[in-house]
Amino acid sequence: MNLGDFREDYRRGALDRAALNGNPLAQFESWFHAAAGDQSQSRWRKIGIALFKLWSAVCNHRPADINAMTLATADQHGKPSTRTVLLKSMDERGFIFFTNYGSRKGRELAENPNAALTFFWPELERQVCVAGMVTKLPEAETEKYFKSRPRGSQIGAWASNQSEVIPDRAALETRWRELEKKFPGDIPLPPNWGGFILRPERIEFWQGRPSRLHDRFLYSQQADGTWKIERLSP
């Protein structure tokens, strides 16, 4: 399969050092709001994003969730794995997501807490890459989020031993129905389910540019907690 003809010349924006916030988490929040379309933007950029979304709808292509991110983990032997998960919150501590602690990613993070995230927003031709250490979210915060989930998702967290082999879908659905009867009222937090915080040590912001001369800026956290910003070659 030859994919050499699948090319895109990025022309929707630029990224200058002077425009960067000194705090990468604040810079990420700014870009995230832009991806959500709720930040002040130029008239032409708004029109471009609107046309992209209209084209996706006409072609029956559902735009990707803007909070979708690729999570990369590795086991104790350094063997990597990736999957797409959803960012559920971000604060001064870092990036927060939830999962089954017994899943492949949960087990790998227990063995090796180094992880990386990648966000890609094609309509803005932007990418953010994050790397750092992962720790578990305090149980009280996990329980608060769990109770905010739809009832079906709460039951699903109990029903699925994520990443384990099952005989067929019927077994999973049978288990879900059993738990629905077991928990007619409030559903307790499963003991093997919860949140993680990735505390960033490096964050790179990538803006697509023509002729593959992309703008890339890397934030690296220093020993005193400040952030060093450097432009990278594309």
- The CATH number for 170's domain is 2.30.110.10
59 assigned to some structural domain: yes
49-77 mean pLDDT: 74
Which residues does 60 contact at the CB level (< 8 Å), separation at least 6?
A: none
pLDDT band of residue 64 (cuts 50, 70, 90) is low
What pLDDT band is residue 45 in, cutting at 50, 70 and 90? low
Is residue 11 situated within a structural domain?
Answer: no
The verdict on residue 9 lying in a domain is no
d(CA 140, CA 223): 30
**Count of structural domains within the chain:** 1
Instruction: Tell me which of 64-68, 90-94, 120-124, 228-232 is least confident.
Output: 64-68
Task: State mean pLDDT over 97-124.
Answer: 97
Catalytic residue among 17, 151, 177, 212: 212
Give the domain extent around 66. Answer: 17-232
In a domain, 157, yes or no: yes
Closest CA relative to residue 212, chosen from 233, 191, 183: 233
Q: Is residue 212 part of a domain?
A: yes
Which residue is it, tokens 């305090």?
A: 138
- 212 as an active site residue: the answer is yes
